[in-house]
Structure 1
């Protein structure tokens, strides 16, 4: 395959991953996203989906959270620090603002730590999943 065709294909696949992630209603796995993209008619390999999701996360255009089954992703605005309530069943996520982030720094300082970063995700079941 010549370089121009390969570059165009990679751009189409990159855009397909970005768009599918933005259309997802909450956190989603790479496997789920891969199935969605292929079902919609864009042939793409699972490894490519992982590469593109990780690139989006590294650039700040996607959030990622570890879960027992692996890793989940969600589109986000770069540069805006935020936290989430996450439904463990359907992946729905709501951005939240903890009441006092100073508590994190104070707690760390009391134990001799200097905070370089933090991640706060609260997991549970959304109202729809709890009712089901």
Structure 2
């Protein structure tokens, strides 16, 4: 485990104050707007370390950018709105069973997986529904 510096603590606190996933650049911007002198490279390193240690969830956006969010405990997956970023944690049971089954049918053992489902949340779906007049 890395030592806890003021920079790492600032990143941890900033990440924990959000409900959505955020990029390193987005988190860096909010830290800077709050008066922090922290550098972008330091934010990237701190987020990567927090993800490795299980304190942050990490995923790739549909555009390929790494996004982070403070992590809850236990294995879980996410439903993520492509429009507003709303994120809902979902139970892993069905996904776990499916992953083991697919791996076994193909002769794989010790399978690991990452599952994040992107779509539109209910509010964004309503806004995107074509209106008929």
Fold agreement, TM-score > 0.5: yes
Give me the whole-angstrom Cα distance separating, in 2, the residues matched to 1:77 and 1:103: 23
Unaligned runs of 5+ residues in structure 1 are: 1-6
The answer as to 2:60 corresponding to 1:66 is: yes
Alpha-carbon distance in structure 1 between the residues aligned to 2:125 and 2:64: 21
1:78-100 Cα offsets, whole Å, 9 max, x none, are: 4x100000112222211001452
Q: CA deviation at 1:127?
A: 2.5
In 2, Cα distance between equivalents of 1:128 and 1:31: 27
- Quote the RMSD (CA, aligned, Å): 1.9
The superposition leaves residues 27-69 of structure 1 with CA deviations (integer Å, 9 ceiling, x where unpaired) of: 1111110000010111111111000000000100001001224
Match of 1:124 among 110, 115, 119: 119
Q: Is there any run of 5+ residues in structure 2 with no aligned partner, and where?
A: 128-133
Report SS of the residue matched to 1:73. Answer: strand
Q: TM-score, normalised by structure 2?
A: 0.83
SS in 1 for 2:5: helix
Match of 1:114 among 109, 116, 125: 109
Aligned residue pairs total 123
Greater displacement, 89-98 / 28-37: 89-98
TM-score of the pair, normalised by structure 1: 0.84
